Amino acid sequence: MASNGSETRKQFSLGENSLNVRGTSTSMKSRVSYCTDLEKLVLTVNFDKRGWVRVNPDDDWNIYWASVQTCRNLFSVDSGYRLHDNQCINHFPNHYELTRKDLMVKNIKRYRKDLEREGHPTAIRSKQGRYTHLDIIPITYILPADYNMFVEEFRKNPHSTWIIKPSGKSQGAGIFLINKLSKLKRWSKESKPPFHPQNGKESHVISRYIENPLLIGGKKFDLRMYVLVTIYRPLKAYLYKHGFCRFCAVRYDNNNHQDLENVFVHLTNNAIQKNGEDYNNVHSGKLNMESLKLYLETTYGKSRTDFLFFNIKWLIIHSLKAVSSVIANDRHCFECYGYDIIIDEELKPWLIEVNASPSLTFTTAHDRILKSKLIDDILSIVVPPDGIPDARWSKRPSVDAMGNFHLIVDEEYDDRGSNKKIREKYQGSRWR
């Protein structure tokens, strides 16, 4: 993609004879044009099904399903590019405030502190100093900046296990577990470039390892859930009904944390598990959400299961509120995030991370159907009923257009008290 200011403007601008904007005459072209730099079947099938025409990024386009890098280039100051009303794109310019591990943690910590300072009841703490309602992420520090704070915390609990992750990587790359300070010190000495407080780019997060995950069939799993945000201020977000669980292929032993190096026990990423001997190519370690719910309801009862899913919704909403003031609220943007959540054996959900580009690759037939329908449902919500993107649209899709998504937060509406009932129902019944 070109990055020169005027050149880019020219390349991206919509000419007078191009696509009709809602409410204007439709004299010339009448079809929606799209471009994408992700060659994913679940995307192109959906675009083609709608009769949209594929064009190059340099041509006039209405909808761009872009990689995060392309999106960053497009919105960079250097590009000088401005989107027109009839254009939309699948990322917010600074989505990384939520999707980079270190920034997500920083924003959630800041959000909790701000609420606490205001004396907001959501930010009350227990006697042990934990947030009663906003304990949604494992205790986390950013390295190297918070190294001393981490050491202090570790010493309070010298037998605890921690997980270290590079802030900006994915698919399990560079992740390892420690339960001794000496291992962290050795790693910090060997790090290239060396571990340095000013070295922001190479930051890592170190999080308390959830040592008591809920196990099914003796194996650890995490949940992948999809959340669509169409606007940040006022916040409007939808949760997808069909997420799935991703299992480790090797049994997890709650009483034996010695084998910290065995990634097939501890890391649920498919990118890791598919390299293991016990990986199953048929189901690829995935279980759909309906089966998980059925299992939980029969094992723990309906009300505990409902409460777990209420708490999942709660953590999603608050993670979004934590960044809503810092995300550039561009009305041309929407974003579908992949939320990774671990449930512990007390049925408490923990937010592990949020992905800006959840995988659209499929490993099973069920996966293909799910992801294809997911894209279909996203498009139905973000594009107005007449089928043409419009940044001035009120972003109020009909219930039918929501498909398998349901609205979990709509600040415009909630502030008028519509969610009062549900808030009252669960008031005071948060974990711990």
Q: Which residues bind ligand ATP (CB under 6 A)?
A: 138, 163, 165, 169-173, 175, 207, 209-210, 222, 267-269, 340, 342, 352-353, 355
Least separation in angstroms between CB 266 and ligand ATP: 6
Closer Cβ to ligand ATP, 115 or 248, answer by number: 248
Least separation in angstroms between CB 178 and ligand ATP: 12
Which residue is nearest to ligand ATP, using beta carbons? 170
3-state secondary structure the chain: CCCCHHHHHHHHCCCCCCCCCCCCCCCCCCCCEEEECCCCHHHHHHHHHCCCEECCCCCCCCEEECCHHHHHHHHCHHHCCCCCCCCEECCCCCCHHHHCHHHHHHHHHHHHHHHHHHCCHHHCECCCCCECCCCCCCCEEEECCCHHHHHHHHHHCCCCCEEEEECCCCCCCCCEEECCHHHHHHHHHHCCCCCCCCCHHHCEEEEECCCCECEECCEEEEEEEEEEEEEECCEEEEEECCCEEEECCCCCCCCCCCCCCCHHHHCCCHHHHCCCCCCCCCCCCEEEHHHHHHHHHHHHCHHHHHHHHHHHHHHHHHHHHHHHCCCCCCCCECEEEEEEEEEECCCCEEEEEEECCCCCCCCCHHHHHHHHHHHHHHHHHHCCCCCCCCCCCCCCCCCHHHCCEEEEEEHHHHCCCCCHHHHHHHCCCCCC
Closer Cβ to ligand ATP, 45 or 149, answer by number: 149
Closer Cβ to ligand ATP, 163 or 379, answer by number: 163
Least separation in angstroms between CB 359 and ligand ATP: 8
Residue 368 tokens read as 């293909």
Closer Cβ to ligand ATP, 172 or 234, answer by number: 172
Closer Cβ to ligand ATP, 209 or 226, answer by number: 209
Closer Cβ to ligand ATP, 149 or 173, answer by number: 173
Least separation in angstroms between CB 172 and ligand ATP: 5
Closer Cβ to ligand ATP, 44 or 359, answer by number: 359
* Residue 2 to residue 13: CA distance in whole angstroms: 13
Closer Cβ to ligand ATP, 63 or 343, answer by number: 343
Least separation in angstroms between CB 355 and ligand ATP: 5
Closer Cβ to ligand ATP, 164 or 381, answer by number: 164
Least separation in angstroms between CB 341 and ligand ATP: 9
Least separation in angstroms between CB 44 and ligand ATP: 23
Least separation in angstroms between CB 169 and ligand ATP: 6
What are the phi and psi torsion angles at 80 (to 5°)?
60, 15
Least separation in angstroms between CB 173 and ligand ATP: 6
The sign of the dihedral angle between the CA atoms of 266, 270, 274, 280 is positive
